[in-house]
Amino acid sequence: MLDNLPRGTICIEDIEIGMMRSLTKVVTDRDIELFAEVSTDRNPVHLDDDYAQDTIFEGRIAHGMLTAGLVSAVIGEQLPGHGTVYLGQSLKFLAPVRPGDLVTAEVEVMEMDHGKRRVKMDTRCLVKGKKVLIGEATVLAPSKRFD
């Protein structure tokens, strides 16, 4: 048994199909600016009000991967939590996220392979109850046992 697992980590032995976790965050101008800095994605649709006004979005939008990062936060912090290793993620962007939007990121366990410690999860982000991002994640969950 491992006694040094971080608090809140859910090990493969305790994960069940249908388990869900979520987080909610307001996406701010500062978040968008910081993401642009870290990613080096300075597309003006994210940063320039005048430019973005003349696009199909009619205003600035957050980076899609910033929104996807909220899914990563749920997986890495809550389900399964610390010690989780991402193996894959599919994403489909359905609608833009704008500065000031309250985004809810959700993950739900769909399938498990206990022997391989793999967990497949449905992932989504919502703004005002409307899906703005959907996808699936496959992760390697921590275990209580030494392998």
CB 103 within 8 A of CB 95: no
The pLDDT of residue 85 is 97
The pLDDT of residue 146 is 58
Give me the helices (H) in 9-146, please.
29-39, 44-47, 49-53, 64-77
The pLDDT of residue 144 is 87
In terms of pTM, does the model score above 0.75? yes
The pLDDT of residue 128 is 98
Q: How many angstroms separate the CA atoms of 11 and 29, rounded?
A: 36
| pLDDT band per the 50, 70, 90 thresholds, residue 1 | very low
Residue 124 has pLDDT above 50, yes or no: yes
| pLDDT band per the 50, 70, 90 thresholds, residue 8 | confident
Q: How many angstroms separate the CA atoms of 62 and 35, rounded?
A: 9
Residue 51 has pLDDT above 50, yes or no: yes
Residue 6 has pLDDT above 70, yes or no: no
What is the average per-residue pLDDT within 45-58?
97
Comparing 2-16, 43-57, 59-73, 108-122, which segment has the lowest mean pLDDT? 2-16
What is the average per-residue pLDDT within 10-35?
97
What is the average per-residue pLDDT within 3-14?
77
CB 27 within 8 A of CB 66: yes
Average pLDDT along the chain: 94
Q: How many angstroms separate the CA atoms of 106 and 70, rounded?
A: 9
The pLDDT of residue 145 is 80
Domain borders along the chain are 12-28+61-140
Fold classified for 12-28+61-140: Thiol Ester Dehydrase; Chain A (3.10.129)
